[in-house]
Structure 1
Amino acid sequence: MDLLKAVADRALRLVLLLAAVATASFFLMVNSPVDPVDAYVGADVAALGPEQRAQIAERWGFGDPALERFGAWLSNILQGDLGWSLTFNQNVSEVIGERFLTSLALMAAAWLLSGVIGFGLGVLAGVRRGGVTDRVVTWWAYTLASAPTFWVGLLLLYVFAVSLGWAPLCCAVPIGVLAEDVTLLDRLGHLVLPAVTLSIVGVAPVVLHTRQAVIEAMESDYAAFARAQGESTLGLVVHRVLRNAAAPALLLQFGSLGELFGGSVLAEEVFSYPGLGAATTDAALGQDVPLLLGIALFTTVFVFVGNTIGDVVHAKVDPRVTRVTRKRQAV
């Protein structure tokens, strides 16, 4: 019963969240100062006559009342139809599916790198609290926390692609090479710089939170008791501290999926990486309302699922979370 209740509660929260995101996103889009006809036509808008403008507006429903457009769009959504992308001239669901697969490799690599490196450095800084290692790692983390993704990407691109020539300048695959001729090594080579950019920016919160968790664990009563029993620092860290520090780090990692997606938008623009982030930018510049709304809903589900997985993993790693939750529900 507890499991069914928890699943039902999560499902209800997701439905309410999607409804709120859909409503807010739609009315933000339709009230944008950008003329949708101008955005749709692009550079040839100067040659557009009044009759042609009216035909385009009628074809895509730009002139319909906002509530009527929202009702039609919502009705299609409930039938599983996300609409038609004006930018890519195909179904929104197809655009999201194709572009997300490309972005998934980038975000997964960056997510793993930032988690592993951030956790390792956070543990090292916490154990060496007050020392040179702690100061260097903490300074580095605070510096990265304030560094814009766009700036970090441009810096890495200039150093490793332009100056040193160690990495490709752009794209997810080599330019001019047929899809069937692209190797896994080619894809990995084009993935490295964007993934490193995202992971560098995302590593700072993990480092700082892990460091604080390690410091608290090292100063706890059970740590003092273990030292009194002759436990070495290494043994204390391996057997007692890592588990306590891993719980908040995992929760933070799964909770950062929204920031990860936001960072991928900038990183993909810098490296011309054809993922969902780049599609979001193209849709925004082209006032492609169906695609923007579809991406907003998809991102909402993506982040919500990530947060839910983070809660479950956190509870598994740290059983105290489950006990506190049950006490609150009982009260």
Structure 2
Amino acid sequence: MKKWMRLFLKKIMRMLLLLLFVSVGAFLLVSLSPVDPLQANIGQTALGALSQEQIAKLETYWGVNEPLMERYMVWAGDFLRGDMGVSLLYRQSVSSVIMQKLLNSLLLMTFAWVISGVFGFVLGVLSGMNRGRTIDKAIKCYALLTASTPAFWLALIFLLLFSVWFKLFPIGLSVPIGMEAASVRLSDRLWHAALPALTLSVTGISNIILHTREKMIDVMESEYVLFAAARGEKKWEIFKNHGFRNVLLPAITLQFASVSEIFGGSILVEQVFSYPGLGQAVVTAGLGGDTPLLLGIAVISAAIVFSGNFVADILYGAIDPRMRKGGRP
């Protein structure tokens, strides 16, 4: 138990250290960018109307001439206290903007994450248990095809087919146009998130299929499975008794590792569907020079991705007894 607790604390410290590196890297890149902090905060027109004394006061206020490390320490200290700054584009606190956008993105990404995980695992197992047959070739062809398909291109095709031509789904946004916020139901949000989530799941399912298939093939070719088949066990019994546990562990790894892929794909998909999520906010902040929002999203999104990997490591212990003893998979 003590070994498992030490392993738990070690992974927590590693995740915090990675977040520190991400925050330093993001702050350094933003500081070295050609974005003028004064122009971004007050606008080009207003900046041109100011005197040199006023500009000097603003530079002192924003810490433009302060050393880079000192500016980072001030920003990091405020961030740890919950003050991420004020968004220059939304005119709200960065934490409020991120919370609003993150709720929309979590609905979309959770939808896509569950669909891709369940269907990827089932199709991968089905393909691996029928290696060389028609169903295996069809599933593998689908996985290879979708793996090489850009998410934004597939989003455009789905938008054209299912929204414009067949009118089965809304064209975009996260809620019906013109509806008051108090009148929006959960079913409305799910309906608007369905097509973007389907797009993300179609492109994100391929890696899970291919890796699960390879692991299932290894299981089916192992000596204990061949011995079970010689005893007369059917494929379903072999999978239930011998294959499920061995295939589930790497599938969980891939499932939680796919959080980063789904988040990256959601940036493009949200742009195509005009879905007001965190991915669209990243593009808006980048193009608009909203550095406080850009830094906040960078750290929060990294925390989401690292948390997915952390949860996968924790679930190892629930599946593999060696992890509970402090071993390695």
- Scaled by the length of structure 2, the TM-score of the pair is 0.91
For residues 4-19 of structure 1, the aligned pairs below 5 Å read: 4-19=5-20
Residues 67-118 of structure 1: CA distance to partner in whole angstroms, max 9, x if unpaired?
Answer: 3322221221232322221121111111112211111110100000000111
Which residue in the other structure is 1:231 paired with? 233
Partner amino acid, structure 1, of 2:17: L
**2:219 match:** 217
Output the CA distance in 1 between the equivalents of 2:302 and 2:138.
37
Contact 2:169 2:191 survives alignment (8 Å): yes
Question: CA separation in 2, counterparts of 1:184 and 1:82?
Answer: 29
Between the aligned partners of 1:100 and 1:250, the Cα distance in structure 2 is 24
- Alpha-carbon distance in structure 2 between the residues aligned to 1:297 and 1:131: 46
Consecutive unaligned residues of structure 2, counting only runs of 5 or more, are: none
How far residue 248 of structure 1 moved from its aligned partner, in angstroms, is 0.6
Number of residue-to-residue matches in the alignment = 325
Task: Note the 1:120-159 alignment, pairs <5 A.
Answer: 120-159=122-161
**Residue 34 of structure 1: CA displacement?**
3.5
Which letter does structure 2 place at the counterpart of 1:193? L
Please report how far the alpha carbon of residue 327 of structure 1 lies from its aligned counterpart in structure 2 after TM superposition: 7.0
Q: Residue 215 of structure 2: SS of its match in structure 1?
A: helix
Q: 2:38, 2:59 within 8 Å by CA — same for their partners in 1? A: no
Q: In the alignment, is residue 25 of structure 1 matched against residue 29 of structure 2?
A: no
Match of 1:175 in 2: 177
Q: Which amino acid in 1 is paired with 2:21?
A: A
Q: Quote the residue 1:98 is aligned against.
A: 100
Query: How far apart in 2 are the matches of 1:193 and 1:47?
Result: 43
**Superposed displacement of residue 204, structure 1:** 0.3
Q: 2:62 maps to which residue?
A: 61
Any conservation in 2 of the 1:248–1:314 contact (CA below 8 Å)?
Answer: no
- Structure 1 residue aligned with 2:300: 298
Letter in 2 for 1:5: R
Q: Which residue of 2 aligns with 1:107?
A: 109
Give 1:55 shift: 7.5
Q: Give the deviation of 1:308 after TM superposition.
A: 1.4
Distance in 2, matches of 1:90 and 1:59, equals: 23
**Out of 245, 251, 257, which is 1:255 matched to?**
257
Q: Given the superposition, is the C-alpha separation of residues 2 and 320 from structure 1 closer, same or farther in structure 2, using an over 3 Å criterion? A: closer
Question: 1:283 maps to which residue?
Answer: 285
Q: CA deviation at 1:185?
A: 2.5
145-154 vs 75-84, which deviates more?
Answer: 75-84
Q: 1:193 deviation in Å? A: 0.6
The corresponding residue for 2:166 is: 164
Contact 1:37 / 1:56 at 8 angstroms: preserved in 2? no
1:7, distance to aligned residue in structure 2 (A) = 2.9
Q: What letter is aligned with 1:74?
A: A
RMSD of Structure 2 on Structure 1 (CA) = 2.3
Percent identity between the two aligned chains: 42
Contact residue 39 and residue 47 of structure 2 kept, 8 A = no
Q: CA contact under 8 A between 2:4 and 2:324: conserved in structure 1? A: no
Give the match for residue 309 of structure 1: 311
Q: What is the aligned counterpart of 1:189 among 161, 184, 191?
A: 191
**Unpaired segments of 5 or more residues in structure 1?**
none
> CA separation in 2, counterparts of 1:159 and 1:62?
51
Preserved contact between residue 251 and residue 313 of structure 1 (Cα < 8 Å): no
Work out the CA distance in 1 between the residues paired with 2:171 and 2:96.
27
- Give CA deviations for 1:99-147 in whole Å, capped at 9, x if unaligned: 1111111010000000011111111111111111111111111111111
Q: Secondary structure at the match of 1:123?
A: helix
What displacement does 1:294 show? 1.3
The residue type equivalent to 1:223 in the other structure is V
Give the deviation of 1:41 after TM superposition. Answer: 6.0
